[in-house]
C-alpha cells in the first residue's frame, strides 16, 4: 500500500512540473515586459529599456512596424547590435512575448 501511495505522489508531482513547464513556454505580456527591462538578452549590461526609456518611445517605435515580421527583424537587430546578444529564434516564446508586451503598451 505504501508503494502505491509513493507512485501516485510521484505522478502528481510530475504532472505539476509538466504543467509549470508548459506555462513557462507560452508567450505572455508579463514575460515580454520582464525581458524588455532585464539585461539577459545581451552581454553588455544593457536592456531594451536602456534605449527605449518611455512608453511613448515604445509606442512610437512599435507603430513604425505594423507587421510582426518587420518588428521581429528590428528586435533582433537591436539585440545583436545594441545589446551584443544573440538573436531570438523566430516564433520563440521569448520573441513573441516581447512583441506582445510592446504592442500592449498604451
The label of the residue with cell 531570438 reads 88
Q: What is the CATH number of the domain that holds 52?
A: 1.10.760.10
19 domain residue, yes or no: no
Percent of the chain with pLDDT over 70: 77
pLDDT band at 81 (very low <50, low <70, confident <90, very high): very high
Amino acid 83: pLDDT: 98
Domain extent, residue 97, equals 28-104
Any residues with CB less than 8 A from the CB of 66 and at least 6 apart, and which?
Answer: none
pTM of the full structure? 0.75
Q: How many domains does the chain have?
A: 1
Phi then psi for residue 29, to 5 deg, are: -60, -40
8 domain residue, yes or no: no
68 domain residue, yes or no: yes
21 domain residue, yes or no: no
Tens of pLDDT, residues 26-77: 999 999 999 999 999 999 999 999 999 999 999 998 999 988 899 999 999 9
39 domain residue, yes or no: yes
Amino acid at each position: 500500500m505504501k508503494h502505491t501511495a509513493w507512485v501516485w505522489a510521484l505522478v502528481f508531482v510530475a504532472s505539476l512540473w509538466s504543467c509549470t513547464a508548459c506555462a513557462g513556454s507560452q508567450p505572455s505580456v508579463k514575460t515580454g515586459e520582464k525581458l524588455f527591462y532585464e539585461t539577459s538578452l545581451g552581454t553588455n549590461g544593457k536592456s531594451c529599456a536602456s534605449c527605449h526609456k518611455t512608453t511613448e518611445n515604445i509606442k512610437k517605435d512599435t507603430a513604425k512596424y505594423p507587421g510582426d515580421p518587420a518588428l521581429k527583424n528590428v528586435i533582433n537587430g537591436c539585440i545583436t547590435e545594441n545589446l551584443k546578444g544573440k538573436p531570438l529564434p523566430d516564433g520563440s516564446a521569448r520573441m513573441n512575448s516581447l512583441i506582445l508586451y510592446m504592442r500592449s503598451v498604451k
